Structure formats: structure tokens, C-alpha cells
Chain A
Amino acid sequence: MWDDARLLFLIALPFLGSGVVAMLPRDARDTAGLLTGVVTLLASAIVASFYGDMASAAVIRSSVEWLPSLGFNFTIRLDGFAWVMAGLVTIIGFLVVVYARYYMSRRDPVPRFFSFLLAFMGSMLGVVLSGNLIQMVFFWELTSLFSFLLIGYWHHNPGAREGARMALTVTGIGGLCLFAGVMVIGHIVGSYDLDRVLGAGEIIRSHDLYRTALVLVLLGALTKSAQFPFHFWLPQAMAAPTPVSAYLHSATMVKVGVFLLARLWPVLGGTEPWFWIVGGAGVTTLLLGAYIAIFQNDLKGLLAYSTISHLGLITLLLGLGSPLGVVAAVFHLLNHATFKCSLFMAAGIIDHESGSRDIRRLSGLFRFMPITATLAMVAAAAMAGVPLLNGFLSKEMFFAETIVEHVDSLFDEALPFLATVAGMFSVAYSLRLIIDVFFGPPPVGLPRTPHEPPHWMRFPVELLVLACLLVGIIPAMTIGPFLHIAVSSILGDRTPYYSLAVWHGLNFPLLMSVVAMVGGVLVYLLLRGYLASGQEGPPLLRRLKAQRIFERIMVVVSWKWARQLESLFGTRRLQPQLRLLVCLALLAAIFPLYVEGFGPRRLSFQKLDWHGFDTAFALMWLVGMACAIMAAIQAKYHRLAALVMLGGAGLATCITFVWLSAPDLALTQLLVEIVTTVLLLLGLRWIPKRVEGDDAGRITIRMRVRRGWDLAASITAGAGIAMLSYAIMTRPLPDSIASFFLERAYTEGGGTNVVNVILVDFRGFDTLGEITVLAIVALTVFALLRRFRPAPESIGMPEQQRLQAAYDIAHPDRKPDETVAEYLMIPRLIMLWLFPVIGVFAVYIFMRGHDMPGGGFAAGVAMSISFILQYMASGTRWVEDHLRILPVRWIGVGLLTALFTGLGAWLFGYPFLTSHFQYVTLPVIGKVPMASALLFDLGVYSLVVGATVLMLIALAHQSIRSPKPSRKGAPPLAGQGTPPPAGMGGR
């Protein structure tokens, strides 16, 4: 239990910290740094607290149910290797935070940086501690995402954006491949659980899909660890702030790829394809990276290519397939993290204090910053593999491993030589770093005079360099136990004997080291002249840039092909798309009929039964259908007529609901009908005038043909749906869930109106979703109208008002605008008085909703009608001078009421939205049902009022936006201070 809590907390802590830090104000550099430091230190302490368990080779597992129906658990699995990696992530994380606090400028939004950094740390811990492959891939992708955000932190810099995008594309695609590979492994093993997978090595390796899984997983690992041919993203990622380069792109994230290789080594490794792919990629990267690194003029570029090369070394060691190779790989992984991280930090200090990281401009810095220079030189020596430093030990192990024969081939024979050459290169670039930067004449023309950094900025470098020295001198006493914990958890009983002594006697690896040292010095001396010429890029390979190839591919895929596909399939025109949709729907309906034919069990028709045929009903629908058809005909030229006809069809629908036992629907439909009509009427003004006969001459034959087709399709679809509905309605009703609701509406829901009980109780969650949609629509309408720009010709006064105003001016006995002011005087008075009446009506249908037709929806719409009537009667300005309506607040209150009513059930230990009811006797009114569903319905009511009123008055407001010289600055929409009337209409 304690272990579970600690492990969960370990992963959750950085994410929590990230959330808190993200909330800090932009300039809270110290607070953010302090908070992040505390979080990372705490995480390190939690990791350290597991030392006892790890030393006894225990594996700690902790599971939380995640998707139990699919057999997925959120599993944390801590074994030795994961523990060492977690330690690396948290401790280096802490050092980087200390460093970053001094590195980051006060002008940058530092809390954002620390927030990303913490979230990245959480994702890393998630990867290394995952006991489930899917979960691991999830965190894997998270690391790519936060790496993207951190590389692009200085987003004003195009190089940073480009680098971030490239890193995300490469590692993201790799992550997707890994995901697919993990699925294949899961398919083979039958489980994604890491323990099961680790125990199923034999099965996986002998399975037909082994190669598929292997290639996919390797694509993930090699892209992440920047292995050839995917190495090019890492140098581009150097546009990130230096702490990010030190942390993500040298010590941790790029190690995740090799971590995965080591993790799955017992399962996937040791086969021939593994040897060739992993070993091949490793050795190519090792040589290529080291070679290119020599010729980098940017300090961070040199370190980046060196990192690529060292990652290649680790990959190669894992590819060899021998247990000793794994030992050397893990050892070098840790060593590389310490010396490369400190080197990056030193490079950052140099950049920070001198203003440049161009090796050609830097020189003789030893004089200005002796301590930093010494530290950097020691770390660089470790990178070169100088004895008594940690890099030497793992490099010796590597050399020893290359001598041993693995797979009998020319490649294997050549390995010792290739390794020695790579060693020479690494000595050469380390030497270049030391000599060119720290020695020689004092630098000229640097932006700043270099000096030592603040002590705490150098402190992490000091610690890391100390670690390099200690591990290099007394390895068995320092790194020994940790290495053993990590290695034995990977290899189990296959853990080989290895010695961590500094001196192994005069042997072949030592000879290789000596050759590499001497050769490296010679290479450096030979290339000095060339390097001094200051040319960019390495000779021979200058023209071949993987990065450029990648960009070409991206252009082709994301631009050229996309364009071609769009021009092939896309259309910007709505009508062809809709036609296609209608035709497809028709075909989809006809197809089953064509295949199955008509028959008794399929689509069949009862003989027309005239029993119960109601002539009045038929006559009503005759009018309704005529209205629909007339609306269809008139909608182009006579919009108002079409609107009236639409209302006719709506009324017929409404009466149908009353006729056929659906009073709730009828009520709601009637009210919504009113609001819709008002809405469309308000919109009419802004649509351009269209006069019949204006474009009669332009009707071409093609248009006639098209219309003919549309008419045919519409008639066919209409006839089809009529037949379909007739066929269904004349069949007996099958068993449905209806009886469930009917039986329980009263006994369990406490209401007699079943429809309302369904809405607010049984399916309350759906209703909650629905009102949320309504709120979103209302806010969208509001937002869209704030930026609304009416067409120029509809800005002026409407025709009628113009005529009325002209009449006033023409008649000297009338005051200007008098007619407009007196317009519809009596209806206006009636509408004014109707306000309280409709209000009471709304309350009435709300209160009876649970038992009788009515409810929150209907009441809400009714209430909003009372508001809009005021607008129609007295005009926007008058209403808002007299009445404060805060529709957004109504929406908010409604949504929260509904939500909290639902949440209230939790207080009593019931699931979300469980309702409770009882009858309460109120004075005067009498016995009233008080269900908690009523409160929910109140939320619905309030939201519907708010949403409807917001939409209607936002639209109504457009009319006062038109610039009138006499009245500038109309009152803002009450309560919100918006929309800004001045300036909007004029634009």
C-alpha cells in the first residue's frame, strides 16, 4: 500500500507541480524555480527511498484499474533498471533546474519553461516506470510532445519553431511505429503487461510476426535516440534553451530509445535481424556522428553530434547481443549522461557569459573563467575516454566487446578497427573543444567580456564533474552497486561477470585506447588548418544533408500530394457535396431493398386501412403540405411568405403532436416555433434583396437540367421516406425500453409525466449534454455577432422607416421620427402588459412539468418569449434602459445548477445525477412534489432562458449598430459591456 502510494505519487508529483507552476505569473522566475526545485528534489528522494528494495533485487508492481473490460491496468513496475533510470531523470532533473534558474533570462516567461520541464520529467518517469506497453507508449509520446514544446520555447525564433516541428515529426512518427509494434507484440503474447512480455521471449522470437514487430519497435527506438538515418533532428533541436539540451537531448529523452532497446533486449534481442539492424545503425551513427562533430563550429552543434555518436555506441553495444554488451551499454548510458550534461551546461555558461558559442570566435577563455574551463576540460576528457575518468571505463568495456566475435562476418572482423577510428574522432573533437575554446589568444569582438558565472549556476557542473572523477577513479565503490542493480534486473541469471577496475593490465583494449588517443591528437593536428579556415560542415559529406532530404519529403507529402489529392477530390462548392450526400443516402436506402426484395419479413405494406381515417386531420395536413410546398417554391424571392408558410407546416406538426398523445411535444414545438420565427424575421433584414425576374434571362439549359435532377431526387427521397415510415408505422410495436420507463416513472422517478421524468431523471445525463450544446451554440452566436459586419447596402434604415421618416419631413405638422415612435402603439402596450402574464405562465408550466405537460425547456422558451416581446414592442434601447437582462449569467447559473444537482447525488453516495423525490406541503399552494430532478429542471430552465434570449437579443442588437449620426454610442448589451457598437457598424 505504502509502495503503491509512493510510486503513484512519484509519477503524479511532477505533473501536479507542472500544473501549479503554470499558474504562476509570467515574471515569477524565482518562485517557479524554487517550486520546481522542491518538486524535483522530492521526486529524487522518493526514488532514493526505494534503494533497499532494489538492492535486494525486488520488483515492485502497483496497479490501478484503467480499462478493466479490455484487461488494461495502469501498472507501475519498478525494477532495478527502471529505478536507475528514474534516479537519472530526477537527479539530473534537479541539477538542470538549479542551472536553469540562473540561465533563463528574466525577460522570458520562465514559469512556462519550468512547467514544461516538470511535465516532461513526469512523462519520462512514466516511460521508465511503465509496467504496461501501451501505457509506456502513451508516456513516450508525451515526452515527444513536451520536447516539442521545450525546443520551441523561444517561439519567436524561426529556427526553434523549425527544430521543434522536425523533432516532433520524426519522434512522433517513430512513436506511432512503436505503438504499432507494441500492438503486434501484444497480439503475439496476448497481453501488454511487461512481465508477461518479458517472459515470452521465446514465443515472440519464433513467431511469424517477429520481424514486423522488431522493425516497428526499432523504428520507434532509433528515431527517439537519433540514430542514423534519423539523427538529423537532434542538431536542429539545439535551438532549445541550453538546460533543455542538457536535460532532454543529452541525458534523458534521447536515452529513452536505448532504454527501450535494453528493456526489450531479453525479448527481441540476440537474433540476426536484431544484430544487423541495431548493430548496423549503431556503428554507422557512431562513426558518422563523431566525424561530423569534428567539423562543427557551433559549440552545441559539436556536442549534439557527439551525443549522436555516443548514442550510436550504446546502440551498437546493445546490437551485439552479448550480455557483456548490455553491461557496457548501461554503464556508458550513465557515464554519458554525466559528462555530456555537464558539458552542455558549460557550453551554456560560455554562451551566457560571453554571448557567443561559435568556436571560431571563442578563444583563450581559460584566462577569464578558469574554474568553468577546468570543469569543462575534465568533462571533455571523460568524453574522449581519458584514463581515471568515467568515460574511459565504459569505452574500455566497449573496445573489449568489439574484439569478441559475435556473428561471423566481415562486419564483425572490422568492428575493432571501426571502434578505434570512432575513438580517434572523439578524441579529436574533444581536443578541438578544449584547445580552441579555452586556449590561444584572448577572444576579440565578443558581445560580452567573459567572466565566471554565479556560483550556483556552476554548482551542477561541479557535482557532475565530481561524479565523473569519482566513478573514473573508484568505480566499484561508487557506480558499482547501481550498475549491478540495473544490469541484473535486465539480464537476470544471464548476468555475466564483469570487472570495474581501472587497471586491467596491458591488454588489447588498452592498446586500442592508446592508438585512439595518439591517432586523435594527430587527426586534430592535421585538420587544424582546415578547421581554422572556418568552413561550415564536414568535408566529403557537406552536400549530403539528411535534414534537407527530410524537408524535401515533407514538402512532397504535406504540400504537393495534399494539393493533388485536394484538386482530385475536393470541391469548395456546397451544392455538389450535398447532392452527393443525398444520392448516397438514397442508394443506401435502396440497396437493401434491391438485395432482399419485398417480402413479409422485410419491407411490406398493410393494405390501406381506412379505419380511423380522420377527415379533419387529413384536411389539416393538406394545408400543412401545401404550406411546405409553397415554402419550397417561395423561399427564393418571397422570403417573408416562405417564412409564413414554414410556420404553417410547423403548426400542422404541432397539431399532430396534440392529436396523437404528445402534449409535451406540442407545447415545446409551439413555443420554439414562435422563437424561430422571430429569429428568422430578425435575420431577414441582413439578406440581400432579390426581386423575381431579375435574373430570368440568365437561366441556362444546364441550370434547368440541374434543377430537374434536384427535383427528381427530392421527389424520390420524399416518396421513399413516406413508404418507409408507412411500412414501419403499420407494424406492431416491438418490445422496447418504453415499458421500463412507464413502469418506473412514478415509482422511482416521482413524476407522472413520463417524458419529463425521462428527460430530467432517467436520461438526465443526455439532457445535461444537450443543454451544454445549447449554451455553446448561444455563446457562439453571440461571439459571431460581435464581429458581424453587415453588407454595406443593408446598413441604412429599412425601407419602411425611411418612408415613415420622409412622411414626417414632408408634413410640417409632424415632428421628425414621430411616425416611427407611434408605430403599432396599441399592440406595443399590450405586449408590455403581457410581460408578467407570460412570466407567470412560464412558472406555471415549469412547476407542473414533472407531473403534467410542461417542464424546463418549454418554460424557458416561454420566458424568453416574454423578453423578446419587450424588445419587439419597445425597441432595444428602451428595454435595456429599463430592464437588466444578463443572459450569459442565466446560462452560467443554469449549467452550474444542473451540474451541482447531479453532483449532489455523490454526497449521498449515489452515482452522478441520481435523483431523489418527496412531497412537500407548502402553505397556500398545498402539496407539491419536490424532486431533486426539479432542481435539475430549474437549471435547464435557466439555461434555456439565457441561451434563447442571448441569441435573440444579440441578433436584435444588430439593428442599432447601423451608424446613425444623431445617436452615437448606443448602450451596450446590459451587463456584458459588449458588443461594442461604436466602430463596429462603420467598419
Chain B
Amino acid sequence: MEIIIAVAIGVLTGSGLWLLLRPRTFQVIIGLSLLSYATNLFIFGMGRLRGNAPPILKPGTAGDISQLADPVPQALVLTAIVIGFAMTALFLVVLLASRGLTGTDHVDGRESDR
């Protein structure tokens, strides 16, 4: 299980970074999204992987870490997902505004002079 997630994180990071370094704003926004998947999975993985043990208690009892998945990274990732969405939205709008103002979708606001 771990190896699959690890490779997945690696591929998502690699693709994300490649796009992050591209000159077109749309490429960067897709890259950031891929990168945020990778980051979320990475943080999630810090609580270790575990099937069939969602951190949901039986009413009236205290939970035990040996029986349930780690809830802390999950809480962190939940926050990260929402903030990631907000970031994507903001970036998209900045991208559109920049495109409207400069007439290009290059990240520098002007075509590079190569």
C-alpha cells in the first residue's frame, strides 16, 4: 500500500512541478492543483495508512489510537482542501485579470523575449 501511495505522490509532485515551471498561466494553475493533491496525500500519509478504521467513535466511549486512524492529519488535510480551493479560485481570477490587462497569458504578463 505504502509504495503505491509513495509513487503516486512522486508522480503528482513531478507533474505539478513541471507545470509550475511552464510559462502559461493555465499550466501553472493545473500544476498547483496537482501539487496540492500531492501535498495533501503526503500530509495524510504522515498519519500512516490504515484501512477500515475511520476515526469515528462508538457513542459514549473514548477512542484508542491503536484501533483508529490518526485524525490529526485528516483534520489538517480537510483544512488544506478548502484553502487549496480558495487559492485556486483566487489564482484563477488573478490570471484572468492579468490576461485582460496585459493581453497575454504568459506568467510575466508579457511574452518572453527569448
Contact = CB atoms under 8 A, between A and B. Distances in A.
Instruction: Give the interface size bracket for A toward B.
Output: 35 or more
A613 B1 contact: yes
A738 B65 CA distance: 7
17 contacts: A573-B107, A608-B3, A660-B1, A672-B81, A714-B14, A714-B21, A718-B14, A718-B15, A726-B6, A730-B2, A742-B57, A742-B64, A743-B64, A745-B57, A746-B59, A777-B90, A944-B82
Interface string B61-96: 111110011111011011101111111111011111
Contacts of A766: 79
A723 interface: yes
B21 A736 contact: no
A59 to B, nearest CB: 52
A725 interface: yes
B85 A676 contact: yes
A578 B20 contact: yes
A714 B10 CA distance: 9
A574 B32 CA distance: 14
B79 to A, nearest CB: 5
A710 B18 contact: yes
A928 to B, nearest CB: 13
Contact of B7 (A625, A700, A752, A777): A625
A967 B75 CA distance: 48
Interface stretch (A83-91, A358-366, A373-381, A641-649): A641-649
Contact of B55 (A649, A661, A686, A774): A661
- Identify the interface centre among B87, B89, B94, B105: most chain A CB within 10 Å of its CB: B89
A725 B107 contact: no
Contact of B82 (A738, A770, A951, A958): A770
Interface in B1-33: 1-27, 29-31, 33
- A-side interface mostly: helix
B58 to A, nearest CB: 7
A636 B45 CA distance: 31
Given A661-B52, A710-B18, A742-B57, A718 B11 contact: yes
B112 to A, nearest CB: 7
Contact of A661 (B17, B33, B50, B59): B50
Interface string A848-863: 0001110001000000
Nearest to A948: B85
Given A686-B100, A752-B56, A770-B79, A631 B10 contact: no
Given A662-B74, A714-B21, A738-B65, A621 B8 contact: yes
B54 A722 contact: no
A575 B14 contact: no
Contacts of A680: 29, 88, 92
Shortest 10 CB-CB contacts between residues of A and residues of B: A718-B14, A722-B10, A742-B63, A726-B6, A632-B15, A661-B69, A714-B18, A754-B71, A777-B86, A754-B55
Contact of A687 (B26, B71, B72): B26
A52 interface: no
A660 B22 contact: no
Given A714-B14, A715-B14, A656 B101 contact: no
A741 B1 contact: no
B14 A773 contact: no
A726 B89 contact: no
B63 A754 contact: yes
Contact of B96 (A628, A632, A773, A788): A788
Contacts of B62: 742-744, 746-747
A396 interface: no
Given A613-B1, A653-B37, A717-B14, A736 B72 contact: yes
B62 to A, nearest CB: 4
Interface in A432-491: none
Given A629-B15, A700-B114, A661 B97 contact: no
A40 interface: no
Given A700-B114, A714-B21, A742-B57, A628 B12 contact: yes
Interface stretch (A107-115, A220-228, A755-763, A865-873): A755-763
B93 A631 contact: no
A574 B108 contact: yes
Given A642-B26, A652-B8, A680-B88, 10 more contacts: A617-B1, A625-B8, A631-B30, A649-B34, A661-B53, A683-B96, A719-B10, A733-B70, A738-B70, A746-B63
